[in-house]
Structure 1
C-alpha cells in the first residue's frame, strides 16, 4: 500500500504532504483465465501486450528480490513484486510526466501499450480464477483528491475512496479489519499505527490459495532433516507422496535442479535447488529465463517425493529498495499533481507476504500399499532453494523468494564438535554469516549424547 501525508501549514507555502503506500499479500493457490472486455484502447487487450506486461513484472521481480536482501543473508524471504507494481501503477495515474516516466522505467513497463487496461485484464482474470485481489483508497478527513484520479483508480483498479472519519484507533481497526478480511485472516494486523500526517493511503491486498494437482497425504508427513550445508541440519516436517508424477531436471547453465509442482488450474510452484551449497543467487537470477526453464521440463515420472511443509511470513519497508532501483524521486519531490493540487510525496511503501504450503486438500490413501525407494525413484527438496509461483498461461510471477532455513526457530545440529578454530572463527563460514553463524554454543542432551553441539539462529 502507499500513503500520502502532509506537514504543518506555512503562512506562504504548504509543505509537501506525505503519502503512505502499504502493500499486502498472501498465498496459498489455484487458477484459470477469462477475457476482460473493458479496454483503454479497444475492446480486447492484445495477447502480446499481456506477454510484455508479464515479462516486465518478471524483470521487476528479480530487481526487487535483489534489493530486498542484497547480500542474501536472511533465513527465508517471500515477496510479491506483482502486488508492489499494482500499487505503484495506481499511483502513476496521478503522476506528472517526469514522475510517471521514472515509475514506468523502474517497472520495465514503458513499452506496454494501454498499460492500465492491460493490467485490469490480468487483474480480473486472476480474480476470476486464482486469487482474491482488492484495492482501496483511504483519505484523511478533509483531504480532497481530483475527480479524474478517483474515476481512473476505480475504473482500472477497483479502488474506491473511503474517508477516515473516526479516531486514530477506530481508523486503524477499520484498515486492519479490511486487510484481515481480504486475506482471510492470514494478515490480522498489517498496520501498527497510522502516521499523524498521512492524507492518502493506497492499499492492495492479495490472497492466493492453492490446491495441489497431486495431493499429499497428511498421515505420511514425517519429521526429517533439512541440510543448511554439508555439516549443519535443522529438523523439518517433510510432506511425502509415494507415487508423485514429478517433473524435474538439471539445468546445467544455472547449475540448479529445477522442479515444477502444479496446482489445480494454471498455477505452478517452481523450485530451483542449486547443485552446490555455496550458490550465487544473484547469478542465477541474472540468467533466469522462464521460457527456457519451462521448455526443458520433461515428462512426469512416478517418484517417491518429499518436500518441506512451509509457513513463510515476511515484512519489509520498501523505501530503500525502491530508492536503490531509481525511485528516490518518489520519496522526495515527485509530481503527483494529478492526485491533488497540494504538494505530495510518498513516505512509506510497506509490504507483507505470507506463504503457507501444506498438505491441505490431501486425500487419505489407506488403500495404497507402502512403496519403498527400491521400486521408485526418490527425490527430496532438502536443502536451500529459490522458488517462484507462476500463473502459467501468461507466465506471470505472483510470488518469489528463497528458503535457506525452513525451521528458523529450531536448533542447528552439527556433526563436528569443535566448530571454532584457534582464531575463534568458524572453520566453514569464516567471519560467520548471520544465517549460519551461532550466537552461542549450547550443550544439551540430545538422544542420550551429552556433547552434542547445537546452534540457534540470531533474531
Structure 2
C-alpha cells in the first residue's frame, strides 16, 4: 500500500439566526464556519426578498471585444495581474506567507492526552480563508489579507490560483465545492469569482449523503461519513479538500520492519512498528541554531517530507520558529548519502476547533462583526472553524527506514533514528509550499506508555548504542 496523506479541511456555512450552538455542533466531525445573518431566512426565500430564490447562474460572460489597436483599462489591469501572478517573486511571497501561517498555527495549537499530535494543512487553511476573503469588504478584507500575506501581493487571488494550478499537476488533488440551500441566493460576483479563482462550483444541498459522498470522492475514499449531520438552518457551505498520495523514491523492505520504541520524553516511551534500512539514501544535517537533526525524504514526483528532530527530545515550535526558515533549511541540505535510518510507521487523525487559535493570531474580529457583504447582505459573523486531517506512513509510501540491532552493531554508515518527537513538513519541491505540517509527539497514541529505565552499558555485558541508552523497560541480566 502506498503512503496516503489526506486532509479535508474547511466547511464554511452560512446559517440563519440561532443556527448552531456548542451542543448542536459538538458531534460534528466536519470542519465548519457557520456565518449567521441578522434575520432568519424562511425556507424558499432569499435574504431581502419574499420571492422564492433559485441558484444563480454562475456562467461568466465573455468580455466584450475592444476596438482594434485599443486596450481597455480592464485589459490593462488583467495583463498586469497576469504578469504579477506569474512572477517568481510573487510565488516566493505566497510560499513564505503559507509557511508563516502554518508555523503560527502550530505555535498556538495545544496537544492533549487524547490528541498528542498536531497535523494541519497550511495550504488548505490558506485556501479556505482566501475564498472567504472573496466575500469580505473593507476592514474585514484588509484583516484577512494581512494575515494571509501581509498585504504584500497585488492580484492575490489570481496569484494563488496559479500556484494551485501548478500543484494540481502533480500527485496532489485539491477539490473545492460550494453547497447552497435551496432558496438562498449568494451574490453573483462571489459565486463567479469562487469558480474562477478556486474552481468552487455551486450545487444545491440535497442531503447529508450528498455532501459525505463528495468528501469521500475528493479524498479517494479515505474519509467516509465525514459529516454526522447537516448544520441547522444551513444556507451555504464552502468545502475544500486536499489529498496527496505518493511513493518514496527509495522504498524499504517490509521484512525489516520490526517492533521498536519511540521515546516520548526522558522518562517514557511507547512501542511502535519501526521501518529500517542500513544504507538509505538520505540528505540530512545537524543544525546548531535549531539544535536539531534535519532530514529530507523525497517522493517520486517533486514532493518531500522534511523532518526536524530536536536534540532535546521535545518539540517547541515557538523556540524553533526563531530560527526556522523552511525554504532556507531546504536549500541548505547537502547531497544524499547512505545513512542508517529508523522511521516509525503510523496512521493518525487530527481534528480541532480553530476559533481560539485564529483569535490569538488576531482574527478575532472575524467571529464578532465581520463585513462579508460580498457574500450576502446583513451581518454574517463566523461562529466556528473546525479542522480535520489524516496521515499515514508505511513501507511503500516513505523514503525512510531503520536498522535492526544486529545491523546497527556492524553498520559503518551515519545514523538517523527518528525515535523521538519531531516536527515535519510535507513540502512541494518546486514551490516549497508546505502542503502538510505538524508535530508528532506519539506515533502510537493507543499503546500503553512504558517507563524508561536507565542502565550502564558497561555493566550489561554486551555493546549498546549510546543512542539507544535507556531503551529497555527492564535491563538485561
TM-score by length of 1: 0.79
Instruction: Name which of structure 1's ranges 384-393 and 65-74 shifts more when overlaid on structure 2.
Output: 65-74
Q: Which residue pairs with 2:237 in the alignment?
A: 201
Mapping of 1:131-146 within 5 angstroms? 131-146=172-187
Q: Distance in 2 between matches of 1:89 and 1:102?
A: 11
* Equivalent residue pairs, number: 387
Q: Distance in 2 between matches of 1:58 and 1:362?
A: 23
Alignment equivalent of 2:287, drawn from 242, 247, 251: 251
Deviation at 1:41, TM superposition (A): 1.5
Any unmatched runs of 5+ in structure 1?
A: 19-37, 364-369, 418-445, 450-459
Deviation at 1:356, TM superposition (A): 0.8
Alignment equivalent of 2:149, drawn from 108, 111, 114: 108
Would the aligned equivalents of 1:137 and 1:201 in 2 still touch at CA under 8 Å? yes
Instruction: Name which of structure 1's ranges 67-76 and 141-150 shifts more when overlaid on structure 2.
Output: 67-76
Mapping of 1:49-60 within 5 angstroms? 49-60=90-101
Alignment equivalent of 1:405, drawn from 424, 434, 442: 442
Q: Which residue pairs with 1:379 in the alignment?
A: 416
Q: Distance in 2 between matches of 1:227 and 1:388?
A: 21
Q: Which residue pairs with 1:7 in the alignment?
A: 17
| 1:295-321 CA-partner distances (Å, limit 9, x unpaired) | 331222212221001212101111121
Deviation at 1:371, TM superposition (A): 5.9
**SS at the partner of 1:410?**
coil
Q: Distance in 2 between matches of 1:412 and 1:271?
A: 24
Any unmatched runs of 5+ in structure 2?
A: 1-9, 20-36, 42-77, 400-405, 455-471
**SS at the partner of 1:268?**
strand
Mapping of 1:56-455 within 5 angstroms? 56-69=97-110, 74-164=115-205, 166=206, 171-360=207-396, 373-377=409-413, 378-416=415-453
Deviation at 1:67, TM superposition (A): 2.1
**In 2 relative to 1, CA 203–329 (structure 1 residues): closer, same or farther, beyond 3 Å?**
same
Alignment equivalent of 1:41, drawn from 69, 77, 81: 81
Q: Which residue pairs with 1:420 in the alignment?
A: none
Q: Which residue pairs with 2:23 in the alignment?
A: none
Would the aligned equivalents of 2:117 and 2:442 in 1 still touch at CA under 8 Å? yes
Q: Distance in 2 between matches of 1:102 and 1:259?
A: 36
| 1:312-362 CA-partner distances (Å, limit 9, x unpaired) | 210111112112212222122111111112332222222111111111268
| 1:139-164 CA-partner distances (Å, limit 9, x unpaired) | 11110011111111000000011111
Would the aligned equivalents of 1:227 and 1:233 in 2 still touch at CA under 8 Å? yes
**In 2 relative to 1, CA 295–128 (structure 1 residues): closer, same or farther, beyond 3 Å?**
closer
Q: Distance in 1 between matches of 2:111 and 2:253?
A: 38
| 1:403-426 CA-partner distances (Å, limit 9, x unpaired) | 111111111221459xxxxxxxxx
Q: Distance in 1 between matches of 2:256 and 2:79?
A: 49
Instruction: Name which of structure 1's ranges 256-265 and 184-193 shifts more when overlaid on structure 2.
Output: 184-193
**In 2 relative to 1, CA 277–39 (structure 1 residues): closer, same or farther, beyond 3 Å?**
farther
Aligned-residue Cα RMSD (Å) equals: 2.7
When you count strand as a share of all residues, which structure comes out higher?
1
Q: Distance in 2 between matches of 1:410 and 1:124?
A: 41
Would the aligned equivalents of 1:17 and 1:342 in 2 still touch at CA under 8 Å? no
Would the aligned equivalents of 1:39 and 1:45 in 2 still touch at CA under 8 Å? no
**SS at the partner of 1:125?**
helix
Q: Distance in 2 between matches of 1:231 and 1:244?
A: 30
| 1:189-239 CA-partner distances (Å, limit 9, x unpaired) | 222222212211110011011210111221211111111123322111011
**SS at the partner of 2:272?**
strand
**In 2 relative to 1, CA 73–111 (structure 1 residues): closer, same or farther, beyond 3 Å?**
farther
Deviation at 1:71, TM superposition (A): 9.0
